[in-house]
Structure 1
């Protein structure tokens, strides 16, 4: 293997510092989990071979899984072929990746190769194979795998049988799917849902609904399956009834209903559901409305497009922003209308396309307060605070009078950029020059500005001087600053205020706990965690889409 010679001479990256010293299986396993690129994966592989661990089935199985996740299947094949007698676990890992990247016929050939080796297929072998058949409606191959699973003694496994129900249901063999379902000794929620989805795709909503009502336990996927069935059959009334009864809706639930209404030409209902949807997923649903409008030749008017632009702005989706912008340019929509160009500038600025936003802004025959605020906010979001301040000055020179929103935007920009003097100047100017009474949001911006700069006492005094009660956002900004500058004494005072305002907000407890931890006050950390448990407060686990 030429790549082994090539990578053994490389310098190890900084984030794999233990690679030279850790030689055991468990240590290399830990390093494998840290690999995020093919390059680092190859370096670890070189180490595995040099230490004679290239026949270690545990390590190689983990290695193959990582290769599959990095979509480097040629490398996966090379590594797998280097193992002299692959175990069933290794075969299963290899088959899973193979079935996701190659045709069913090639997957069948690989399975035959496995059968001819010393490895024996088990209950983890068949779900991947059957799933590959489901994707292309390969009933013939699926039936063969079904027979093989029965002969190997795993035909009654819940996961194998669930995969078979999914296969037969998707391929229109609904009687076969039901036969497998009825023969199951143990069923889980996935099994029930697969059978319901099969009936739904077969347009037998009577049986689908009957089975749905019999389900001992339902989840969001189960509800979505029956709703999708009604939508596909054009029974939007029943779909809406199920949608309204659904205890916990997710993005699939909303997109299914929007899709159904839009395809039936009922854009008013589609938009109504769109407005009901949670804000965090609004871009996905907006994209769906846009796609359905184009597909069904329903021309979206300027108001729908402005709604789409607003959705992009809220989520910062650059890809969708470019798509919408391009569509508007090619359509008959008049981009020079005030509300359209304002939405375009706001969308491009907030989504990171500052060049396009600037071009639109400069081409405006008459710039207003809204367009200036959109540009300043975009500059602020993308780390260009000084430019936002310059734009604010230009706005004043053009004779425009800033309102409370404009001052919120510029104070936020100053806070993010650490422009303390400028922020303090604008805060005073707002009161003295424009007779604007600062709102709690203005005070929160100033607290954040002073806190980030380490002027914690000033920030605290400003909060206490407020004519109205500070909201949780202002106290939270100060607590964050206390964490940043390790001020335990003030942090405790601020945290007590937040515990009264937001008694169930775990974030405040975690921030104070982190302040204690940074000062190595572990007893206080423990006491605070105990208090959280006593009050039934749990920290929501973090997750990443990266």
Structure 2
């Protein structure tokens, strides 16, 4: 415009300065500030407000405050921009001071303040601000829902979700990802069905969460349906995070042919995709192929991380491959300079225990430089039951009773060890101790539920119509508790 002799005015400056804010173009924005000063346009409330917002965005809070203080006229957007600026640089005290000085506030101002508390994890204060708001919009509800979901409080998230007068795609995404990340995959799938029935089109983030939920459920039929749904959608499957989730879902749900095809067609395979394939192979009893693929990953120059070593050690444990397990455990320490975590030790203890090397497993636990968790001791106790080792079983159970005093499974295992050795007095004594502590056989520390998913006529679903009837497509039955 300037090259053609035109000059920006008070209507043009806010638009161009806002564009600089969006693109975080600091030099260009400051140049526009200089031009506005020369033309006298900086005195306009809209120009001044856009400059406050610009400096707030690039985190130059002193310049933002200077422009704000020099404004002869301010509106609620000007004040809100300054509040956001202080929040952007982490100065919540000054942000709250400016907030309290405001002659009037709008919903964006309240959302900015509440957003800080949600971001820092202080949901008590965030909820207090939320409850004090004179009016709320979809963003207000979505921020709180997302905060509760990330904190694992899905009950509070669902309560606000149901109360929201309108729900945007981000609220649905927060609920679905919240359930998925908090180990409630069935609820995540239910929420997806409900969203579809309300004619809300999912985005790629929701579909990634859905695939992750399917991975947790481990149902081949469900994975095939989701894979088909994705192929009929307009989501670009070649995007790295979408493709990674698709490979992971197919691998963990047992569709190894489909997972392998997607994996081999990748232009560049990364650590995440390798780990998904290796874990899928191990889960479905193909440990030899899992080890072969792990070695291929190393030969291609990829550096395994702690998760990758946990996966391969689990694979060795599942197949009882002691030498291979020790090999990976040693190279993790010696070649990759990693300090084994309690999970790595637990894998090795499980491997040794499964193959009857109980003394070696116990010695490994005692040699750990970090405190072993219940998983390692539990693997050893299970092996003591299998091999009827009463003495070591008593030592192991005693440690587990300290770590998990309310987990009845540990008492039951020890009782079974006594019963196998025909030590009925000890069986009776242990059962009396359980009664004294109010423990029953159902009081397991980490229950594993059987999830039943019934499918009906999935192939009749038409993506074009965006209709998904929960009864006709598939119903998710409440998980059955172990008897």
Place the TM-score, normalised by the shorter chain, in its bin. Answer: 0.5 to 0.7
Of residues 300, 304, 312 in structure 2, which corresponds to 1:402? 304
* In structure 2, C-alpha distance between the alignment counterparts of 1:355 and 1:422, rounded to whole Å: 26
Equivalent in 309, 321, 343 of residue 245 of structure 2: 343
Q: Displacement of 1:278 after TM fit?
A: 8.2
Give 1:297's match in structure 2, choosing from 182, 185, 199.
Answer: 199
Structure 1 residue runs without a partner (length 5+) = 1-236
Paired residues for 1:128-527 under 5 Å: 264-274=166-176, 277=179, 282-527=184-429
Secondary structure, aligned partner of 1:335? coil
RMSD: 2.9
CA distance in 1, matches of 2:183, 2:344: 28
C-alpha distance in structure 2 between counterparts of 1:334 and 1:250, whole Å: 30
Give a deviation string over 1:171-224, Cα, whole Å, max 9, x none.
xxxxxxxxxxxxxxxxxxxxxxxxxxxxxxxxxxxxxxxxxxxxxxxxxxxxxx
Structure 2 residue matching 1:447: 3-state secondary structure: helix
Whole-Å separation in 2 of the counterparts to 1:282 and 1:531:
34
Matches of 2:185 and 2:222, distance apart in 1: 8
**Deviation of the 1:545 alpha carbon:** 6.5
Asked if structure 2 preserves the Cα contact closer than 8 Å seen for 1:259 and 1:292, the reply is no
For 2:437, which of 535, 539, 542 is the aligned residue? 535
- TM-score calculated relative to the size of structure 1: 0.51
From the superposition, tell whether residues 526 and 250 of structure 1 become closer, same or farther in structure 2 (CA, over 3 Å). farther
Instruction: Give the Cα–Cα distance (whole angstroms) in 2 for the partners of residues 304 and 260 of structure 1.
Output: 21
Deviation at 1:289, TM superposition (A): 3.2
**Structure 1: distance between partners of 2:346 and 2:304:** 19
TM-score, normalization: structure 2?
0.57
Rate the CA distance shift 1:259–1:274 in 2: closer, same or farther, 3 A: farther
Alpha-carbon spacing, 1:493–1:275, altered in 2? closer, same or farther (3 Å): same
Say which is worse superposed, 318-327 or 364-373, in terms of deviation: 318-327
**Per-residue CA shift, 1:215-267, capped at 9, x if unaligned?**
xxxxxxxxxxxxxxxxxxxxxx9xx9xxx9xxxx999x998987887x95433
Q: State the distance in 2 between where 1:315 and 1:258 align.
A: 24
Write the distance in 2 (CA, Å) between the matches of 1:373 and 1:497.
Answer: 33
The 2-side partners of 1:516 and 1:487 are apart by 9
Question: How far does the alpha carbon of each residue in 1:21-57 deviate from its partner, in whole angstroms, 9 at most, with x for none?
Answer: xxxxxxxxxxxxxxxxxxxxxxxxxxxxxxxxxxxxx
Q: Is the 8 Å Cα contact of residues 169 and 202 (structure 2) preserved in structure 1?
A: no
Residues 347, 319 of structure 1: alpha-carbon distance in 2 compared, 3 angstrom cutoff: same
**Residues in 1 aligned to 2:162 and 2:193: alpha-carbon distance in whole angstroms:** 9
1:410-458 Cα shifts (integer Å, max 9, x gaps): 0000001111110011101111111111000000000000000000100
Preserved CA contact (<8 Å) 1:446 1:459: yes
Q: Distance in 1 between matches of 2:342 and 2:303?
A: 21
Aligned residues: 300
Could you tell me which runs of 5 or more consecutive residues in structure 2 were left unpaired when the two chains were aligned: 1-140, 453-483
1 CA distance for matches of 2:162 and 2:260? 35
Q: Structure 1 495/316 Cα, relative in aligned 2: closer, same or farther at 3 Å?
A: same
